[in-house]
Amino acid sequence: MAIISISREIASSGNEIAERIAHKLGYQLITGTDIEAKIVHYGFPAEKLPLFNEKRPLFWHSFTKERELYFNYLKLAILTFAEKDNCIFIGKGAWKILADVPNHISFNFTAPMEQRVTKYSKERNINVHHAGISLIKRDVKRKGYYKDYFKTDIDDPNNFSMTITTNDKNEHTVADLLSGMVNNFESEELSLKGMKKIHELLTQQKIINMLIIDNKLPITDLNIKGEKKDLILTGLAQSSAQVDRALAIIKMEYPDLNVTSEIRCVQDLRTGVRK
């Protein structure tokens, strides 16, 4: 009755530990491949996925509709999987998307660089020199991905419930200890609170996708804050007419919600008027 998310440095044994925890707890293991399959199912072009695969987007991709489409489908996919409860996510920023869910617990795995290089060179059958260069490049891309998409520092331990430094001899011990920790963390009350929060977040994400994907409203960085039935839209629109259109669409589809707007309008910013 918990949701676990795992972030890990490349070659830090995070994947192996996640698999063992899932096996011991009987949880569904949700990998990056599973999440990407769901994103493609929603309609994102499969051939575009490598452009956004946990690496910093190229400059011209930072401003494209594809980037916005990917990110909103990513959040929708993770929240949809999380609705099933009793699952473990590996990567893709699930720890950040689910941060406010009461029955969510997050683990971050790190390891000494020398150990990672040795492990990576064996896995890829390359020499340690090339393995070290590859790891450094991938670490930079990973850090850029979380900075650009989630506005956060992946190396900040405050982002996680626990950060664990692993070695190649303690994978089973770490997995067993964390499984016991999750068992103590679980409760029916917490699970019910978590499912309620996920339902709220999922509704908010469906509203965002409805506006910018289904109705193609050109509102940049559209987000929703608030909880339960009192929600506030934020972002940047070209005109107040687009904001009015967004509110009208939401009212039609979700009449029970009380939705207001703090969306800034370009036309008002140009004239010095705050919307």
| pTM listed for this prediction | 0.89
Q: Which of 83, 108, 110, 79 is nearest to 94 (CA)?
A: 79
**Helix (H), strand (E) counts: the chain:** 10, 9
> Given a cut of 70, is residue 56 above it in pLDDT?
no
Question: What confidence tier does 65 reach under pLDDT thresholds 50, 70, 90?
Answer: confident
Residue carrying structure tokens 């996708």:
209
pLDDT > 70 in the chain, percent: 93
267 or 88: which leads in pLDDT: 88
The whole-number average pLDDT for the span 95-113 is: 96
97 or 275: which leads in pLDDT: 97
Question: What confidence tier does 138 reach under pLDDT thresholds 50, 70, 90?
Answer: very high
pLDDT of residue 170: 83
246 or 149: which leads in pLDDT: 246
> Given a cut of 70, is residue 274 above it in pLDDT?
no
The whole-number average pLDDT for the span 19-46 is: 95
Question: What confidence tier does 272 reach under pLDDT thresholds 50, 70, 90?
Answer: low
pLDDT of residue 3: 96
pLDDT of residue 60: 46
> Given a cut of 80, is residue 275 above it in pLDDT?
no
pLDDT of residue 49: 87
Q: What angle do CA 132, 135, 138 make, to 5 degrees?
A: 150
How far is Cα 230 from Cα 77, in angstroms, rounded to an integer?
24
Secondary structure of 189-252 as H, E, C letters = HHHHHHHHHHHHHHHHHHHHHHHHHHCCCCCEEEEEEEECCEEEEEEEECCHHHHHHHHHHHHH
Question: What confidence tier does 270 reach under pLDDT thresholds 50, 70, 90?
Answer: low
pLDDT, the chain, mean = 90
> Given a cut of 80, is residue 38 above it in pLDDT?
yes
The whole-number average pLDDT for the span 201-229 is: 93
pLDDT of residue 61: 47
The pLDDT tens digits for 165-188 are 998 778 899 999 999 999 999 889
The whole-number average pLDDT for the span 235-255 is: 95
Neighbour count for residue 190 (Cβ, 10 Å)? 16
Question: What confidence tier does 59 reach under pLDDT thresholds 50, 70, 90?
Answer: very low
> Given a cut of 90, is residue 123 above it in pLDDT?
yes
Neighbour count for residue 272 (Cβ, 10 Å)? 6
The whole-number average pLDDT for the span 37-53 is: 89
The whole-number average pLDDT for the span 146-150 is: 88
Conformation bin of residue 163: beta by default, left when phi > 0, alpha when psi is -120 to 50: beta
Do residues 55 and 141 make contact, with C-beta atoms less than 8 angstroms apart?
yes
59 or 249: which leads in pLDDT: 249
